[in-house]
Amino acid sequence: MRVVIVGGKLQGVEAAYLAKKAGWEVSVVDKTTEVPASIICDYFQIMDVTNSVEWLAFSERFDLVIPALENQKALESLVRCSNCSQVPLVFDAKSYSISSSKIISNEIFKRLSIPAPAPWPQCSFPIIIKPSGASGSEGVIKVDNAQMFECLKAEKIVSDMVIEEYLEGPSYSIEVIGYQGVYKALHITELHLDAQYDCKRVLGSTTLSKEQKTSFEQIALRLASFLNLNGVMDVEIILHKDQLKVLEIDARIPSQTPTAVYHATGKNMLEIIGKTFAQGRPWGDFVITEDRGVIYEHIHVNGENLEVLGEHILSSAGPLRLCTNFFGADEALTTYSQGKKEWVATLIIIGANMLEAWKKRERIISEIKRKCQIQNYCDYFP
């Protein structure tokens, strides 16, 4: 199958990686050069998809269009063009418009009686302030006291922001796919965050109990059914005082977690949903089992320093190459070359189970420190 991925940044990297694993012929389109996904595909094309005439002529050669960006004008153009084209678009505009607003999402959580962080002022400090329309950790501010809050209000930083209680505890993610009223919850992963609340590491296994996993899956399926989801949706939760609370939903191709799910279970969610859209019918029934331990982790090397940081370090690092046996890691997406003093990498580490994966990770980090003469190692937490 010939697919075109629109957007060459981090979502595009995820989509291109999984599309290649599916055995597809992969093109990536972006309006700028030197984007992270530009060399891990078969073909890269510079194009502005808001130019409908040019895009329609180009897209006709493909079997599937996969949006991997959050630019509203570009998404609107893709939706308009898909109505004039025979090429399926793997995108649910209605669900995306709801999930891209944290204000609307929170209203849905309340309507469905899904546990979520308490809104301000129905909570005490510390609190979290975050933009309604941003994804991930973008623009997130933790406020510890009233004095800091008043300063932010005086600077008008809190205007049109979502304000809610700050919760401590491990974070988890699950993807759910939907098509024509059929829904499937996939595999739960654990998220580790850096000091800026950006995801730095994904684990393919979780320590949730069987009951908690079932509860999380049911929450994801309820949300997908309420939205009448046609596509992929990511649901993120936090386990706070033994209670699962939903932090956010995103009805789009996510980054990071799908690759961890793929290596932990062998299930390629992009391949499943892509074939579904291409064939125009829901997938056949399948069972998800965790077969291997997986660690998916981002590192930044600069001179004698090695830091484990969130995925933001990849955004402006330039094109990423896919390497195998990278300092012992099974695979890596990286800007590394021999002798280079500053580079980034996403390490993909696979073991028979999580214990073996962690032991392998320690050997890999030690090998990088040895060969690159690293003196300082930092693994940041919130």
Residue 310, pLDDT score: 96
Residue 137, pLDDT score: 66
Residue 342, pLDDT score: 97
Tens-level pLDDT at each residue, the chain (382 residues): 999 999 999 999 999 999 999 999 999 999 999 999 999 999 999 999 999 999 999 999 999 999 999 999 999 999 999 999 989 999 999 999 999 999 999 999 999 999 999 999 999 999 999 888 766 667 788 999 999 988 888 877 777 789 999 999 999 999 999 999 999 999 999 999 999 999 999 999 999 999 999 999 999 999 999 999 999 999 999 999 999 999 999 999 999 999 999 999 999 999 999 999 999 999 999 999 999 999 999 999 999 999 999 999 999 999 999 999 999 999 999 999 999 999 999 999 999 999 999 999 999 999 999 999 999 999 999 8
CATH number of the domain where residue 85 is located: 3.40.50.720
pLDDT, tens digit (0-9, with 9 covering 90-100), for 113-126: 999 999 999 999 99
Beta-ladder partners of 291: none
Q: Does 197 share its domain with 104? A: yes
H helix runs in 193-344, sequence order:
210-227, 257-265, 269-279, 312-315
Residue 105, pLDDT score: 95
Q: Does 240 share its domain with 344? A: no
Q: Does 217 share its domain with 103? A: yes
Q: Does 275 share its domain with 148? A: no
pLDDT, tens digit (0-9, with 9 covering 90-100), for 178-208: 999 999 999 999 999 999 999 999 999 999 9
Q: Does 53 share its domain with 143? A: no
For the whole model, what pTM was predicted?
A: 0.95
Q: Does 104 share its domain with 231? A: yes
Beta-ladder partners of 347: 297, 332
Q: Does 226 share its domain with 103? A: yes
Phi first, then psi: give them for residue 251, nearest 5 degrees.
-90, 75
